[in-house]
């Protein structure tokens, strides 16, 4: 594996509604870690059977979002590479090719773990050069995937951000985020915290085949409900809406109704997109499970990774209409998914204006 080629130019891809990927394999002068810093482990337990973990000691953990991206944040933290969620459509599959790892089964079963992520983050946040910018997590692979239950990197990461009063957001499909509920509440007392859960559909048969390693959609919506009960407003990224499999009006209605029932503060639809790496894996899956749809997909995605604008607009309009019907609205710049911190006398010491708190959006 080309550990020495994993550099700041090749390490991260950011993705939400609109995004630009990272570099495509260009090697910089200094690798983020060397081959001598890698320890490979396997665990003979049912939840990790068939999974190989490559433990690395990262030299940097704060990753700048590519300049061409229109994301409302400039920095990400991703403690893992590869993901046991095994979503067949995952855009991040391409990143495994930078290590000569397979973007199919290899992405699902060869997990890179940055075991020193909390310590490195704390050091970088304490640097005089760091200006306290918003940090987004879960934008590449899920920081609350199954591996987090063993490695427990997120408590240290959240604590470091809290200690530096640094604003952050988390996007996840994982129910393990509830383990860190108290830490999130503590963070909200000193900074802006945004939380969003990804639920693209509630169809159980579709979930079992396209997201086999994730918690069931209803369990993820339980996370939204629990967070809300503890004062943490949580939005739902309704992603992906999968053409011809999850876009029937009745399916969209069922999903939005369930999202509304969970108490979500917002719902934002995102149609499936198929980048290189993910496209090949998804189309192979489609040919095996739904061969009659292959030609329709080839036509729909003939122009590239994204579905045509007319299709995206149609789905967005349907979801927004349903959201209004069920009493929730689409995400707007003035509506974000965050914990609203209580007024505190010491907050001006962090350079914020408590009369008009900054509004942050995750997507």
Whether the CB-CB separation of 234 and 194 falls below 8 Å is answered with no
Give the tokens for residue 245. 């499999």
**Count of positions (residues) in the chain:** 363
Threshold 0.85, pTM exceeds? no
Residue 121: is the preceding peptide bond cis (ω within 30°)? no
Give the tokens for residue 170. 């988390």
Is residue 203 classed as helix, strand or coil in its secondary structure? coil
Whether the CB-CB separation of 336 and 325 falls below 8 Å is answered with no
pLDDT tens string, the chain, 363 residues long: the values are 554 444 444 444 444 433 333 333 333 334 445 555 678 878 878 888 889 999 999 999 999 987 655 566 789 999 999 999 999 999 999 888 777 888 888 999 999 999 999 999 999 999 999 999 999 999 889 999 999 999 999 999 999 999 999 999 999 999 999 999 999 999 999 999 999 999 999 999 999 999 999 999 999 999 999 999 999 989 999 999 999 999 999 999 999 999 999 999 999 999 999 999 899 999 999 999 999 999 999 999 999 999 999 999 999 999 999 999 999 955 543 343 343 443 433 433 333 333 333 223 333
DSSP characters over 208-255: HHHSTTSPPHHHHHHHHHHHHHTT--EEEEEEEE-TTTS--HHHHHHH
């Amino acid at each position: 594996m080309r550990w020495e080629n994993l550099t700041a130019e090749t390490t991260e891809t950011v993705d939400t509604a609109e995004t630009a990927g990272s570099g495509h394999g260009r090697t910089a002068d200094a690798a983020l870690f060397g081959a001598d810093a890698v320890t490979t482990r396997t665990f003979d337990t049912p939840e990790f059977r068939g999974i190989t973990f490559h433990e690395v000691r990262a030299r940097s953990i704060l990753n700048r979002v590519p300049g061409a991206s229109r994301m409302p944040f400039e920095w990400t933290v991703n403690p893992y590479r590869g993901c046991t969620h095994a979503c067949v459509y995952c855009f991040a599959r391409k990143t495994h090719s930078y290590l000569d790892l397979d973007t199919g089964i290899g992405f699902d079963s060869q997990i890179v773990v940055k075991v020193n992520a909390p310590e490195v983050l704390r050091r970088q946040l304490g640097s005089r050069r760091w200006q306290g910018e918003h940090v987004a997590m879960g934008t590449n692979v899920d920081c609350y995937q199954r591996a987090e239950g063993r490695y427990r990197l997120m408590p240290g990461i959240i604590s470091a951000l809290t200690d530096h009063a640094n604003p952050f957001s988390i996007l996840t499909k994982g129910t393990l985020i509830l383990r860190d509920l108290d830490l999130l509440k503590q963070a909200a007392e000193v900074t802006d915290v945004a939380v969003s859960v990804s639920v693209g559909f509630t169809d159980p048969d579709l979930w079992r085949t396209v997201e086999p390693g994730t918690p069931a959609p209803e369990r993820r919506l339980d996370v939204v409900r629990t967070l809300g009960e503890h004062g943490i407003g949580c939005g739902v990224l309704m992603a992906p809406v999968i053409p011809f499999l999850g876009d029937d009006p009745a399916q969209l209605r069922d999903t939005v109704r369930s999202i509304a029932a969970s108490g979500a503060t917002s719902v934002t639809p995102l149609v499936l997109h198929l980048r290189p790496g993910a496209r090949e894996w998804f189309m192979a899956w489609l040919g095996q499970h739904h061969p009659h749809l292959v030609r329709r997909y080839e036509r729909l995605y003939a122009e590239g990774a994204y579905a045509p604008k007319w299709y995206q607009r149609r789905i967005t309009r349907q979801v927004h209409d349903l959201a209004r019907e069920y009493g929730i609205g689409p995400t707007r710049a003035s509506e974000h998914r965050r914990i609203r911190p209580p007024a505190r006398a010491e907050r001006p010491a962090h350079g914020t204006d408590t009369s008009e708190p900054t509004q942050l959006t995750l997507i």
